[in-house]
């Protein structure tokens, strides 16, 4: 490293940007928790909502495979609907 003051400034900039983004992430997490609490207050099940969100993020083919396997496992365990 030839220019340590420039390197230190660049490193400091990276660290500050990361810290700022981590703070934003914490704030977003708090906002999301508030939404779940609001939904729960209106009679919705937050656990099921989280499962639905996880499913919606999945590729349709992966979701179909996951649901198929879940149903097959339930049958094997004797807890099928």
Tens of pLDDT, residue by residue over 40-77, are: 999 999 999 999 999 999 999 999 999 999 999 999 99
Tally Cβ neighbours within 10 Å of residue 17.
10
Residues 51 and 31 in one domain: no
Specify whether 57 is located in the same domain as 77. yes
Residue ranges of the alpha helices (H) in 1-81? 4-41, 46-57, 60-77
Distance from C-alpha of 50 to C-alpha of 33, rounded to nearest angstrom: 11
Domain count along the chain: 2
Question: Which pLDDT score is estimated for 11?
Answer: 96
Within this chain, do residues 38 and 56 fall inside the same structural domain, yes or no?
no
Domain that holds residue 5: 1-44
Is the model's pLDDT at 80 over the cut of 90? no
Looking at the structure, do residues 18 and 33 belong to the same domain, yes or no?
yes
Question: Could you tell me if 3 and 38 lie in one domain?
Answer: yes
Mean per-residue pLDDT of the chain = 94
- My answer on whether 32 and 54 are in the same domain is no
Query: Residue range 7-34: average pLDDT?
Result: 97
Same domain, 40 and 50: no
Residue 80 CA, chain-centre distance (Å), reads: 29
């Amino acid at each position: 490293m030839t220019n340590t003051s420039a390197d230190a400034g660049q490193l400091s900039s990276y660290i500050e940007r990361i810290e700022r983004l981590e703070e934003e992430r914490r704030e977003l997490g708090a906002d999301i928790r508030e939404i779940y609490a609001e939904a729960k207050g209106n009679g919705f099940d937050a656990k099921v909502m989280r499962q639905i969100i996880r499913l919606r993020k999945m590729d349709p083919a992966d979701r179909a495979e996951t649901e198929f396997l879940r149903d097959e496992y339930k049958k094997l365990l004797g807890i099928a609907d």
